Structure 1
């Protein structure tokens, strides 16, 4: 790895501190400058969302089957539309890398266009700094780098938070729908302390048998 692969105060210049912003960069994918790319050190798969795949006007015939699901940011299990190999360039001339990467094509809402995974960063021999919002990587011409877009990162993150809140509300509503209304039934006539609660939708005959049993 190049001797200059480190971060200094200069690398943090222009970044508003303090912050907890995600690292969101621009990469060239299939010849197009593509924004809203999340660098996720914890992800094990490179992902391109179907809407981005279509905006790049990529041929769906390039998709290969991929049947294993993964868990999205909202916690849902998602089945990819397929897997596709795309040409990606990181950095700028002369200090840049061009590699072919396998992407899972996913159809689900996202504020990001693409997610770059940990194994890809390792292939690039890249190091990241979320503090400096920058990626550095080794090339034959020296150390290349890509600076994150802090404004865009915050916009994307707010959308992610809003989506999580909506998902939580929907989940709570579904759980409420599953809860059946109950009514109090006396087990012994004129002894109000001896009661139980049963579902209001329970049939009369079943309710009678349950009370007799109790």
Structure 2
């Protein structure tokens, strides 16, 4: 894709943060349409190198398992923990709301382990979307054909996911 010179700049303004409780250190957790399924608890992680779809979320989508491609890929998480991806699948993803949205295929690794998230979107996918993120504004913005699209993070869901992660750590 060629970068257009007349493309509007992606900026974050104070108005973008009015709905948020400050101060905060919350993660960007959004909702995406994945394979026509509204998928909540999607973590935007620009430090991750793999798009992850957790197996439980995949099952809830009721997608034909014949579309899965088996793999045996080890993933190394924070703290050095190894998790095996069990398969891959390419699914259509809609980012943003009509008419300010983009539609892109994303190749997910399916991972069968517990997580407070349903999906993790990684750095290379964010780059393909040409997305700019702000953790302060809990926002992801991206160029569309005629302007800028945006998906706002859900601060309450981000905090719920964080508390669920803490609860999982206590059980281990």
CA contact (8 A) 2:131 2:143 kept: yes
Aligned to 2:72: 67
Q: 1:11 aligns with which of 11, 16, 19?
A: 16
Higher relative contact order (CA 8 A, sep 6+): 2
Change (3 A) 1:73 1:160: farther
Q: Within 2, Cα distance between the matches of 1:75 and 1:63?
A: 27
Q: CA deviation at 1:65?
A: 2.2
TM-score (norm 1): 0.75
Instruction: State the structure with more CA Rg.
Output: 1
Q: CA deviation at 1:76?
A: 2.6
CA contact (8 A) 2:95 2:103 kept: yes
Q: Which runs of 5+ in 2 are unaligned?
A: none
Do residues 30 (structure 1) and 35 (structure 2) align? Answer: yes
- Structure 1 vs Structure 2 CA RMSD: 1.3
TM-score (norm 2): 0.92
SS in 2 for 1:38: strand
Q: Which runs of 5+ in 1 are unaligned?
A: 168-214
Aligned to 1:155: 160
Q: CA deviation at 1:75?
A: 4.4
Do residues 40 (structure 1) and 45 (structure 2) align? Answer: yes
CA contact (8 A) 1:94 1:141 kept: no
Change (3 A) 1:72 1:165: farther
